[in-house]
Chains A and B, each alone.
Chain A
Amino acid sequence: MSEAARNTQGRVTVLHHLNDDLLMSYAAGTLSEGWSIGVATHLSFCPGCRQRLSEFESIGGHFLECEEVEGDETAGWEEIQKRLDVPSSNITAIAVGSDPLFPQPLFSYVEAAGGLRWRSLGSGASQMKVPTSDPSTVVRLLKIPAGKPVPEHSHSGRELTLVLAGSFGDSVSVFNRGDVELADDDLTHQPKATPEGDCICLAITEAPLRFTSRIVRFLQPFLGI
């Protein structure tokens, strides 16, 4: 299966997808910024999940259409009419920065952070925190050397890991570029980067991380972990 998933002539074939829960809250607009970065980045890779997203959005369209309204509520036409300029014809031609490794929207976040800056986590792995305005999540990039274990994160709640380069896996499954691994509290495993090369992932976790030690928990904001 991992062979099939490997890039064939540069194309990414995603095998591990977003769940309904994430896609539906993204469609409804209730998903916070941090999770949305992971969802939108996966969507860049995955036509299948974009199709599912549009199905969920059509539920929103359905509710909008079905909304019963009373009385004459069409006021405002006179005002809006004055603002109807000729719509722009080149609205789609917005130039974006690009990077072979990071699709949008992730690229713009990395750029806003001043580019890639890895910080060692010991054990060979390194990370970069991706700044967002969402206090409910921690968004990071992880770089795991070939064959090394993915550094253990908290597993205190939901976690989304999206592979950007290389791959990681355990005895059960392998995750390649574009693949998403979703985990929650009860998952205990420690996958490894596959031996072929370093693995770079986007990891989103709930914040703040729960540490068993009260002292570490107290120091957490100062340690930046």
Chain B
Amino acid sequence: MKTLTPLQSVSVDLAETGHVVELPSVLDGKSHLSADRRKSLEPREINSLMAAVAEHQDIDAYQLLYNYFVPKVRAYMSKIGSDRAFADEMAQEAMLRVWRKARLFDPGKGQASTWIYTIARNVRIDALRRGPRPTFDQNDPAFIPEDEPAADVALERQQDADRLRVAMASLKPDEIKTLRLSFFEDMAHPAIAAALGIPIGTVKSRIRNACLKLRAILKDA
């Protein structure tokens, strides 16, 4: 088992990777876990911490991510059913997979929070016993890969994340609520319609409008 190392070592390691120029403020050695374990993390910080876990199994970075994400993942899992203990167990399982699969995280391909979300989602699908989740396989010879990625994908992805936040902020409260029910509460369109007391056509048009707005802003590079 790995033992905890001083927080300062994280900063050194991060600087060596070349991925991160800006050191996350949570890693500057001044903040202390026990004093501020619930500290809010910026997407940039989350990405840096995840990169540290991915590249050298940094347990301190992982602990910060764990503290930040586990209550959120637990809330996400609580939609499985009324069994609180089971939701806790699934949240632990998801966070454990974050650690074990960390090497698969590629900062050039997307945000760490998105990656953690997809892991939690897959755990939840398994827990709901909906059957297997069919997924494409990048190692499959029939798989058609992307064209050459742009020179600085990491920067581009960071800009994508910033744009997504701007885009989400531009949605109407009704549209946000509808999207959240879909992504967080595990509801298909008929369930959303029933929950909000609106026709299914309205659910669809809200989602369609939200997609149009998001796409317009995300494409606006």
Interface of A with B (CB < 8 Å)?
11-12, 20-21, 24-25, 27-30, 32-33, 36-37, 39-41, 43-47, 50, 54-55, 57-65, 67, 69, 72-74, 76-77, 79-89, 91-96, 98-105, 107, 109, 132-134, 178
B71 touches A73 (CB 8 A): yes
* Closest B residue, CB atoms, query A58: B114
- Residues of A near B37 (CB, < 8 A) are 72, 74
Q: Is the CB of A87 within 8 A of B102?
A: yes
B145 touches A47 (CB 8 A): yes
Asked if A57 and B136 make an inter-chain contact with CB atoms under 8 angstroms apart, the answer reads: no
Q: Are B62 and A63 in contact (CB under 8 A)?
A: no
0 or 1 for each of B104-117: is its CB under 8 Å from A? (1 = yes) = 10000111011111
Chain A, residue nearest B120 (CB): A64
Residues of A within 8 A of B204 (CB): 21
Complex Cα distance, B42 from A150, in Å, reads 53
Q: Are B132 and A33 in contact (CB under 8 A)?
A: yes
Contact yes or no, B1 A65, CB < 8 A: no
Cβ–Cβ contact B136 & A105, under 8 A:
yes
Residues of A within 8 A of B100 (CB): 85, 87-88, 91
Residues of B within 8 A of A (CB): 1-2, 37-38, 43, 46, 57, 59, 62-63, 66-67, 69-76, 88, 91-92, 95-96, 99-104, 109-111, 113-118, 120-122, 124-125, 130-137, 139-147, 160-161, 164-165, 168, 179-180, 182-184, 186-188, 204, 207-208, 211, 214-215, 218
Interchain CB contact under 8 A, A69 and B72: yes
Query: Please, could you name 6 A-B residue pairs with CB atoms under 8 Å apart, sorted by A?
Result: A28-B121, A61-B117, A64-B72, A64-B73, A86-B2, A88-B100
* Closest 7 A/B residue pairs (Cβ): A61-B114, A73-B71, A103-B142, A69-B71, A133-B131, A61-B113, A104-B137
Number of A-B contacts (CB under 8 A): 216
Quick check: A65 and B113 within 8 Å, CB to CB?
A: yes
Q: Which listed residue, A46, A47, A57, touches B147 by the CB 8 Å rule?
A: A47
Q: Say which residue of B74, B134, B145, B184 sits within 8 Å of A105 (CB atoms).
A: B134
Shortest C-beta distance, A109 to chain B (Å), equals: 8
CB-CB < 8 A to B115: which residues of A? 61
Shortest Cβ gap from B123 to chain A (Å): 10
Chain A residues positioned under 8 Å from B188 (CB to CB): 25, 30
Question: Contact between B95 and A67 (Cβ–Cβ < 8 Å)?
Answer: no
Q: Note all chain B residues with C-beta closer than 8 A to A89.
A: 103
Please pick, from B73, B113, B134, the residue contacting A36 in the complex, using a CB distance under 8 A: B134
- In the complex, the answer to whether A60 meets B121 with C-beta atoms within 8 Å is yes
User: Least Cβ distance of A53 to chain B in Å?
Assistant: 10
CA distance A82 to B99 in the complex (A): 12
Smallest CB separation, B204 vs chain A (Å): 8
Determine whether the beta carbon of B143 is less than 8 Å from that of A87. no
Quick check: A57 and B135 within 8 Å, CB to CB? no
| Cα-based distance from A134 to B132 in the complex (angstroms) | 9
- Evaluate contact between B136 and A43: CB separation under 8 angstroms: yes
Q: Is the CB of A54 within 8 A of B43?
A: no
CB distance from B120 to the nearest CB of A (A): 7
Assess whether A91 is in contact with B131, with CB atoms less than 8 Å apart: no
Q: What A residues does B114 contact at CB under 8 A? A: 54, 57-58, 60-61
B50 to chain A, nearest CB (A): 12
Cα distance, A107 to B182, chains bound together (Å): 30
Take A58-B160, A91-B101, A99-B142 as given contacts and tell me if A40 and B135 are in contact as well, using a CB distance cutoff of 8 Å: yes
Among A24, A32, A40, the residue within 8 A (CB) of B130 is: A32
Smallest distance from the beta carbon of A78 to chain B beta carbons, Å? 11
Tell me whether A59 and B147 are in contact in the complex, defined as CB-CB below 8 angstroms, given that A20-B211, A88-B100, A91-B104 are known contacts: no
CB-CB nearest in chain B for A81:
B1
Shortest Cβ distance from residue B70 to the other chain A in the assembled complex, whole angstroms: 6
Q: Is the CB of A77 within 8 A of B66?
A: yes
Q: How far is the CA of A37 from the CA of B74 in the complex (A)?
A: 28
* Nearest neighbor of B207 in chain A, beta-carbon distance: A24
